Amino acid sequence: MHLNHDPAAPIAETIGFDQFLAVDIRVGTITEAAPYPEARKPSIKLVIDFGPVIGRKRSSAQITAHYTPESLVGRQVAAVVNFPPRQIGKFVSEVLTLGFPDETGEVVLLAPAQKVPDGGRLF
């Protein structure tokens, strides 16, 4: 699957509301962050706490342009929690951390404007 990050790209194909509901996007707090120098592209390994029901999940994110591991701990982020785990080198990424491209294509994390309970689902 290739995602087009170009802001001038046309709108994706129309989907039904049920298809949107199938994607489970939740908010969580980053509890651990560490460099991942073994990755092909510069990345940071994250542990994100999604609350008592989902628990802690791991993610690898290509976010080194705007973030350091130290700046991420305690930050809330949004992630897709119902994709199958993905092997990224020696690391298994369990969730897809979400962001938007800046003007140069680097990732800016998606986060709520104010603190919300971990595990809350996007609607």
Structure tokens at 86: 């993905």
Looking at residue 3, its pLDDT comes to: 58
Looking at residue 2, its pLDDT comes to: 46
What's at 105, amino acid-wise? G
Residues whose CB falls within 8 Å of the CB of residue 19, separated by 6 or more in sequence, listed in order: none
Question: In order of start, what are the domains of the chain with their CATH numbers?
Answer: 28-109 (2.40.50.140)
pLDDT tens digit string along 74-110? 999 999 999 999 998 889 999 999 999 999 999 999 9
Question: Tokens 């969580």, residue?
Answer: 28
The Cα-based distances of 71 to 26, 32, 33, 62, 76 in angstroms read 21, 11, 9, 15, 11
pLDDT tens digit string along 35-46? 998 888 889 999
Query: Cα 57 to the chain's mean position, in Å?
Result: 11
Prediction pTM value = 0.90
pLDDT of 4 > 70? The answer is no
pLDDT > 70: percent of the chain: 96
